[in-house]
A = this chain, B = another copy of it.
Amino acid sequence: MQPGLSFEENMLEARQAYPDVSQCPVRGVLDQIANKWSVLIISALAERPYRFGELRREIGDISQRMLTQTLRDLQADGLVEREVFPTTPPSVEYRLSPLGHSLLVPLRSLVQWSFDNFPAIREARQQFADVA
């Protein structure tokens, strides 16, 4: 974010500067954590490295297709590191990169906010539903 520019200014100017959505920094990150499984995978890897199967069992109801795909995306963005051990049968370990760890900081704030304010949101939804 440029110094001297407020959050709002940056958000809106970011769209001017990046007419191609796929190139916008904010949208790129937002889309990533918006994925159904990204945050869940990142939070699991925040604890310790996991092997593919371990991660699958830990999360529980993720399809192997989406686990593979999400891990690839996170790896492509440099948030997750992948290490293959050429054993038989093969074993692959996934861990958070330093960049991935740094993302935990703002992510924690957001998760914290979600927990803190969910009651209020829940109530607001109820009231809104009653009126409508």
Residues of A within 8 A of B (CB): 1-2, 6-12, 14-15, 25-26, 28-31, 33-34, 39-40, 43-44, 46-47, 58-60, 75-79, 99, 102-118, 120-121, 123-125, 127-129
Contacts and interface: CB of A to CB of B under 8 A. Distances in A.
A103 to B, nearest CB: 6
B114 A29 contact: yes
Contacts of A112: 1, 106
B108 A7 contact: yes
Query: Which residue of A59, A103, A115, A123 has the most chain B CB atoms within 10 A of its CB atom?
Result: A115
B25 A114 contact: yes
B109 A105 contact: yes
B39 A11 contact: yes
A35 B103 CA distance: 20
Report copies per complex: 2
A28 B106 contact: no
A113 to B, nearest CB: 5
Task: Name the 7 nearest CB pairs between A and B, nearest first.
Answer: A78-B124, A34-B34, A25-B118, A11-B43, A106-B109, A29-B114, A1-B115
Given A99-B117, A124-B78, A58 B12 contact: yes
A125 B77 contact: yes
